[in-house]
Copies of this chain bind each other. A is one copy, B any other.
Amino acid sequence: MSEAERPGGRREGTGSLAHRVPDLAALELLLAVARLGSLGAAAREVGITQPAASSRVRSMERQLGVALVDRSPRGSRLTDAGVLVTDWARRVVEAAAAFDAGARALRDRRDSRLRVAASMTIAEYLLPGWLLALHAERPDTAVSLLAGNSAKVAELLLSGEADLGFVEGLSVPAGLDAVVIGRDRLIVVAAPGHPWARRRRPLSPEELGRTPLILRERGSGTRQVLDAALGGLARPLIELSSTTAVKASAVSGAGPSVLSELAVREELASRRLVAVPVEGVPLRRDLRAVWPKGHRPTGPARDLLSLTRA
Are B100 and A21 neighbours in the complex by a CB distance under 8 Å?
Answer: yes
Interface bits A86-125 vs B (CB < 8 Å: 1, else 0):
1111111111111110111011000000000000100111
Q: Which residues of chain B have C-beta atoms less than 8 A from A91's C-beta?
A: 95, 98-99, 266
Are B66 and A130 neighbours in the complex by a CB distance under 8 Å?
Answer: no
- Report which of B16, B66, B98, B102 forms a contact with A28, defined as CB distance below 8 A: B16
Q: Which residues of chain B have C-beta atoms less than 8 A from A272's C-beta?
A: 132-133, 136
- Report which of B28, B102, B133, B248 forms a contact with A84, defined as CB distance below 8 A: B102
Are A88 and B99 neighbours in the complex by a CB distance under 8 Å?
Answer: yes
Given contacts A35-B248, A106-B66, A132-B272, contact A23 B24 (CB under 8 A): yes
Interface bits A196-211 vs B (CB < 8 Å: 1, else 0):
0000000000000000
Asked if A239 lies at the interface with its beta carbon under 8 angstroms from chain B, I say no
Are B92 and A95 neighbours in the complex by a CB distance under 8 Å?
Answer: yes
Asked if A46 lies at the interface with its beta carbon under 8 angstroms from chain B, I say yes
A16 to B47, CA, bound (A): 9
Residue of B nearest to A93 (CB): B17
Query: Which residues in chain A, 11-66, are within 8 Å of chain B measured between CB atoms?
Result: 12-13, 16-18, 20-21, 23-25, 28, 34-35, 46-47, 64-66
Q: Which residues of chain B have C-beta atoms less than 8 A from A80's C-beta?
A: 147-148
Asked if A193 lies at the interface with its beta carbon under 8 angstroms from chain B, I say yes
Asked if A307 lies at the interface with its beta carbon under 8 angstroms from chain B, I say yes
For chain A, the count of residues having a C-beta within 8 Å of the partner chain is 74
* Smallest beta-carbon distance A10→chain B, Å: 10
Asked if A128 lies at the interface with its beta carbon under 8 angstroms from chain B, I say yes
A270 to B307, CA, bound (A): 9
Are B270 and A13 neighbours in the complex by a CB distance under 8 Å?
Answer: no
Q: Which residues of chain B have C-beta atoms less than 8 A from A20's C-beta?
A: 100, 103-104
A81 to B132, CA, bound (A): 19
30 pairs, A vs B, C-beta closer than 8 Å: A12-B139, A13-B139, A16-B25, A16-B47, A17-B24, A17-B100, A18-B23, A18-B24, A20-B104, A21-B100, A21-B103, A34-B244, A64-B106, A66-B107, A80-B147, A81-B147, A83-B120, A85-B103, A87-B125, A88-B98, A88-B102, A90-B244, A91-B99, A92-B92, A92-B99, A95-B95, A130-B271, A133-B271, A137-B193, A271-B308
Listed from nearest, the 8 A-B pairs whose CB atoms lie closest are A129-B270, A65-B107, A18-B25, A133-B271, A18-B24, A95-B95, A92-B95, A88-B99
